[in-house]
Structure 1
Amino acid sequence: MRYFELFDDVNIPQRWHIGEITADDGWEPPFWSGSAFQGSPIATISRPGIPLDFSLTSFAVPVATRRVAQAIGSVAGDDLQRIPLRIHGHVGFEVLNALRVVKCLDESRSEFTKWTERDHRADLAGQYRGVTKLRIDPASVPSDAHFFRIEGWLVALIVSEPAKLAMEQIGCRGAKFQEVT
């Protein structure tokens, strides 16, 4: 199966940008950790403009219309937590929380750096510091994984080809895909 990193198309003219997402108490939930979230998150708009069907916040949290969330959910099943999102002046948007984390980064085909003990963050020694060319090993991905993050590099949000096609078939505006297999 083919897999794709899911991005936000930042080149759409006059598009909006969603800033920070917080819980009711002002805490910023770690939507990139693979953990479920309980609560009712609130988002701010950092740049007003045309709302998109899919976008990433300033901190790479995926936000989509209910229609896009349903399309992804029909493929991803329990790997996707759909969380209604409150955005002042806008209705029908959800946080797409990936609940699965898969160890699948193919170091032999990827380009990356790791933290070392000599860096200013010696506590992170051995962990990925940056990944400039991401490739995953499809053989390491369970066949039922369609919406997930990568163990060790949680910044990346990965979708399977069936999830990508589901988004494209409904005309999802705002999503970009880059193959990583």
Structure 2
Amino acid sequence: MERVNSRVVYQNPWMVVREDEIRRPDGSPGIFGVVEKPDFALVMPRWRDGFWLVEQFRYPVGRRAWEFPQGSWGRGGSGDQAALARRELAEEAGLRAASLAHLGHLFEAYGFSTQGFDVYLAEGLAEGEPDREASEQDMIHRAFTDQEIARMIRSGQIVDAPSLAALTLFQLQLSSGTFSAS
């Protein structure tokens, strides 16, 4: 596919939405709506029997749900993704990690968005106080066992696609013997 023309149809400090005119390989014209957002880091805080999760209200879907701590540097911000993972872990859950392992890079919704994310496993956790942003003021955090997390997925309490994809990466690493479950 070849981009023929592109125009920004909306932007704010967190995203740019553009409309691209394209030419398909057969020469026929087409159009794509593309959401540009900065990549984010998702961190899986592992404790002995499971993971720490955060719960917050997600305005676009109008509900609260549990997920792994995650966030981006924001528009114009930049830095090392591992440092971002450590910042999000401390900010959202008040946790510090002795070790951080990169599990992979995925895309959140590559059918319409450029945004990707890096998944990190955090171990050797020390608890502290969260330092949340104003938009996270209703956030709560707590530890769950692996069995509780499985039940929460089945019951629809965990519906965040990046969190579910991160769990898949973790399970693949675990089954390959790359690391133990602590």
TM-score of the aligned structures, taking structure 2 as reference length: 0.26
| Larger gyration radius, structure 1 or structure 2 | 2
Q: Which has the higher contact order (CA 8 A, sep 6+)?
A: 1
Q: Give 1 or 2: higher helix fraction.
A: 2
Please, what TM-score do these two structures have when normalized by structure 1?
Answer: 0.26
